[in-house]
C-alpha cells in the first residue's frame, strides 16, 4: 500500500518500469559485447596463423623447450646415421677438399640425418635461424613433428627461460667424423646440436648413435654429464685430430716433457667427451683438446656449450672467445680444457697458434 496521501499513477508505474528495463538492457548488452571482444582477441581468426609452440608473443623462444627438441633432433638424426651404416648403403663421395688438401666425404647418412634434424627443429621453432653442415634441399622437405613433451630429467634440472628469437642461432652437425664413419670407426661418430644466444653457446647436445649415449648441458641451467674428478696439468694427455698428431706432438713434448701422451682421435664431439666423465667403455680420456687448423663452427659449438656449462673453456689458441655468429668457420684453432688453468695452458703452447692459419 502507498503511503498516506500519495497516489501511484498506472502511467507513471509503466514509465518507471520501462526506464528500469532500459538500464538493465544497457548494462547487460555491454557485458556481452565485452565478453565477445575478449573471445575474439583470445582466439586466432579462422584460417589465420597461430603462434608456434615454443614461440611466445613478441617472438620469444623458451630455451628449455629448445633443449628438449635439440636432444630429440640429435637422437633422430643418429637413428638415420646408424641405419645407413648398418645397412652398408653409405654411397660415399667426395664433396670437396679441406684447406690441408684432404678430401671431405659425404654419405647418405650425412644427408638423411641432416634432413631429419633440420626439419624437426625448423618445424618446432620456425622463427629461429638454423645453420647446418649440409645443404638443405627444399625439394626434399620432410614433415617431422614434435609432440611438445619435455623429458623428465630436463624438467627436473632446467627452468623455463625465454629469449628473443632473433638472438638465437642453432648449429647442426648431422654426422661428425664422416671420414671415420666411412672407415667403420663407429666410436668416433656423433650427431650434435648447439644453441647460441647473441653468439655465445648456451645449449649443447652430443649424441653417440652407435651406443645411444647422449650428453646435454645448458649454461646457467644444468646438465646430465659432469667433469671427471681429476686432471693432469703437468703432463696432460692431449687429444687431437688423427691428421694433426705429428704437429702437436713435438711442441707438446717440448713443453710438458716426453711423458706427455698424444691421443689421435676422430670427431670434435668425441674429443670433447674425452674431457668429461662419460660412462662408455670405448671412450678415451684426455686432459686437453687441441685443434691447430681452421675448423667449422658446427663441429665445435655443441662441445663449447657443454664445457661452458660445466665451468670449462674452449677458446682459440690465443685465448679468444669464439663467436657463433657471422661466418661458419673459426680461423684460430682451438684449445679446450676443464678444471685446469686454461690461461696457463695457452701461455705454455705459444707456437701452436702459428700453424692454425696454414
147 is catalytic: no
Strand partners, 295: 330
220 marked ligand binding residue: no
Query: Residue 169 pLDDT more than 50?
Result: yes
d(CA 194, CA 202): 8
176 marked ligand binding residue: yes
Nearest residue to 114 via CA among 74, 146, 66? 74
What Cα–Cα distance (Å) separates residue 354 from each residue in 251, 293, 321? 12, 9, 18
Nearest residue to 271 via CA among 282, 285, 250, 256? 285
137 marked ligand binding residue: no
3-state secondary structure of 296: strand
d(CA 243, CA 351): 18
d(CA 54, CA 336): 32
CATH 3.40.190.80 location in the chain = 227-348
The residue among 35 and 340 whose pLDDT is bigger is 340
Instruction: Tell me which of 178, 191, 260, 293 is the catalytic residue.
Output: 178
CATH of domain 227-348: 3.40.190.80
Q: Grade residue 281 by pLDDT with cuts at 50, 70 and 90.
A: confident
The string over 42-75, giving b where at least 16 C-beta atoms fall within 10 Å of a residue's C-beta and e elsewhere, is eeeeeeeeeeeebbeeeebbbbbbbbbbbbbbbb
pTM: 0.82
328 is catalytic: no
User: In what side-by-side order are the strands of the sheet with 162-164?
Assistant: 55-56, 60-62, 162-164
Domain 60-224 matching CATH 3.40.50.460: the answer reads no
d(CA 240, CA 237): 10
Question: What pLDDT score was predicted for residue 135?
Answer: 80
pLDDT tens digits along 221-276? 999 999 999 999 999 999 999 988 888 888 888 888 888 999 999 999 999 999 99
- Counting every residue written for the chain, the total comes to 358
CATH 3.30.540.10 location in the chain = 60-224
Instruction: Tell me which of 62, 107, 108, 110 is the catalytic residue.
Output: 110
d(CA 229, CA 239): 18
3-state secondary structure of 130: strand
Amino acid at each position: 500500500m502507498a503511503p498516506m496521501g500519495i497516489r501511484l499513477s498506472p502511467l507513471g508505474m509503466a514509465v518507471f518500469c520501462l526506464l528500469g528495463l532500459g538500464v538493465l538492457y544497457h548494462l547487460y548488452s555491454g557485458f556481452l559485447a565485452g565478453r565477445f571482444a575478449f573471445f575474439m582477441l583470445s582466439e586466432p581468426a579462422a584460417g589465420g596463423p597461430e603462434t608456434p609452440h615454443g614461440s611466445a608473443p613478441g617472438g620469444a623462444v623458451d630455451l628449455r623447450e629448445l633443449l628438449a627438441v635439440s636432444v630429440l633432433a640429435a637422437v633422430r638424426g643418429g637413428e638415420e646415421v646408424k641405419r645407413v651404416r648398418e645397412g652398408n648403403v653409405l654411397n660415399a663421395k667426395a664433396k670437396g677438399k679441406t684447406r690441408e688438401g684432404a678430401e671431405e666425404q659425404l654419405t647418405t647418412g650425412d644427408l638423411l640425418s641432416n634432413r631429419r634434424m633440420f626439419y624437426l627443429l625448423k618445424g618446432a621453432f620456425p622463427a629461429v635461424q638454423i645453420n647446418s653442415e649440409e645443404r638443405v634441399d627444399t625439394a626434399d622437405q620432410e614433415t617431422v613433428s614434435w609432440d611438445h613433451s619435455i623429458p623428465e630429467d630436463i624438467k627436473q634440472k632446467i627452468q623455463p627461460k625465454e629469449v628473443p628469437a632473433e638472438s638465437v642461432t642453432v648449429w647442426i652437425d648431422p654426422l661428425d667424423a664422416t671420414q671415420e664413419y666411412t672407415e667403420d670407426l663407429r666410436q668416433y661418430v656423433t650427431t650434435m646440436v648447439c644453441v647460441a644466444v647473441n653468439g655465445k653457446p648456451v645449449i649443447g647436445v652430443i649424441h653417440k648413435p652407435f651406443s645411444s649415449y647422449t650428453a646435454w648441458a645448458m649454461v646457467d641451467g644444468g646438465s646430465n654429464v659432469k667433469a671427471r674428478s681429476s686432471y693432469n696439468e703437468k703432463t696432460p694427455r692431449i687429444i687431437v685430430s688423427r691428421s694433426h698428431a705429428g704437429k702437436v706432438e713435438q711442441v707438446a713434448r717440448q713443453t710438458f716433457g716426453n711423458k706427455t701422451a698424444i691421443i689421435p682421435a676422430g670427431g670434435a664431439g668425441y674429443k670433447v667427451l674425452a674431457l668429461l666423465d662419460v660412462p662408455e667403455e670405448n671412450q678415451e680420456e684426455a686432459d686437453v683438446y687441441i685443434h691447430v687448423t681452421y675448423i667449422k663452427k658446427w663441429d665445435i659449438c655443441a662441445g663449447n656449450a657443454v664445457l661452458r656449462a660445466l665451468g670449462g673453456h674452449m677458446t682459440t689458441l690465443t685465448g679468444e672467445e669464439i663467436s657463433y655468429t657471422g661466418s661458419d668457420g673459426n680461423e684460430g684453432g682451438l684449445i679446450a680444457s676443464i678444471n685446469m688453468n686454461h690461461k696457463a695452458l695457452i701461455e705454455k703452447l705459444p707456437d701452436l697458434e702459428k700453424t692454425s692459419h696454414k
